[in-house]
């Protein structure tokens, strides 16, 4: 896919004078299609790696992780107006690499679906602990979704908004679910159309490494 994209770009750059507008348009469509397919392949490979890699459990600073991700997002779109609220001192025992993947997908999801807001607001926080389980959340004031379709939310390739509205491969939330399940936790969401969404994930104090074979056979 990257080779197709690369040679298409060479044709546009070096042979523009012999291509009419239709030819250039076709090549741009080839590039866009190959880029989408390459991203999908990368996401599927990431989904497989999340399922199979060994967990390396250690203390993770979720607050610092969120600030780092927000810094990257802000730098990628300096023209956007947005506010973030990150609760301080959020720490959890987890595989740092996998937890970073889950949080990155949740925050990028919130970033994407607040893109039409004049001033986006994204919050990362933690509810009161219940026994040995802590519940964290990512809340935004974006487009939200209809809870009638919440059961589709964490399935691979499931989308509640068209790609013409919001780009994506439909893999991100499936990745989040598998990461959290591997840590013995759960993930769920609440939302309302045009009123934002809140994604919750629970993490046990002591991580129990879970086998996802049954979930994979069930297609979840």
- DSSP string computed for 182-199: HTT--EEEEE-TTS-EEE
pLDDT at 169: 56
pTM of the predicted model as reported, rounded to 2 decimal places:
0.73
Is 174 in the same domain as 101? yes
> In whole angstroms, what is the distance from residue 139 CA to residue 153 CA?
16
Residues 98 and 159 placed together within one structural domain of the fold: yes
In this prediction, residue 47 carries a pLDDT of: 67
Same domain, 118 and 67: yes
Mean pLDDT by 10 residues, the chain (220 residues): 85 87 87 76 72 87 95 89 94 91 92 88 87 91 89 70 53 89 93 93 73 45
Domain co-membership, 16 together with 45: yes
Structural domains in the chain (count): 2
Paired sense of beta strands 91-95 and 120-126, if any: unpaired
Same structural domain for residues 147 and 131? yes
- Which of 39, 28, 102, 14 lies closest to 65, judged by CA? 102
Name the CA radius of gyration of the chain, rounded.
20
Q: Are residues 84 and 119 in the same domain?
A: yes
Residues of the domain holding 12: 2-51
What is the per-residue pLDDT for 158? 60
Do 123 and 155 fall within a single domain? Answer: yes
d(CA 88, CA 85) in angstroms, rounded, equals 9
Q: Are residues 80 and 24 in the same domain?
A: no
């Amino acid at each position: 896919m990257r080779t197709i994209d690369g040679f298409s770009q060479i044709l546009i750059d070096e042979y523009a004078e012999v291509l009419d507008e239709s030819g250039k348009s076709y090549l741009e469509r080839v590039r866009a299609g190959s880029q989408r397919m390459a991203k999908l392949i990368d996401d599927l490979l990431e989904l497989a790696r999340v399922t199979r890699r060994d967990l390396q459990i250690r203390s993770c600073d979720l607050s610092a992780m969120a600030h780092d991700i927000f810094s990257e997002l802000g730098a990628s779109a300096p023209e956007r107006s947005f506010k973030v609220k990150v609760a301080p001192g959020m720490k959890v025992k987890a595989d740092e690499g996998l937890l970073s993947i889950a949080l990155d997908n949740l925050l990028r999801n919130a970033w994407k679906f607040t893109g039409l807001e004049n001033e986006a607001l994204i919050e990362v926080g933690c509810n009161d602990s219940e026994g040995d389980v802590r519940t964290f959340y990512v809340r935004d004031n974006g487009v939200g979704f209809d809870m009638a379709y919440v059961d589709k939310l964490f399935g691979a390739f499931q989308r509640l908004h068209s790609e013409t509205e919001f780009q994506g491969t439909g893999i991100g939330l499936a990745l989040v679910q598998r990461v959290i399940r591997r840590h013995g936790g759960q993930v769920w969401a609440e939302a309302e159309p045009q009123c934002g969404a809140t994604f919750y994930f629970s993490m046990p104090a002591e991580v129990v490494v879970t086998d996802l074979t049954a979930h994979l056979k069930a297609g979840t």
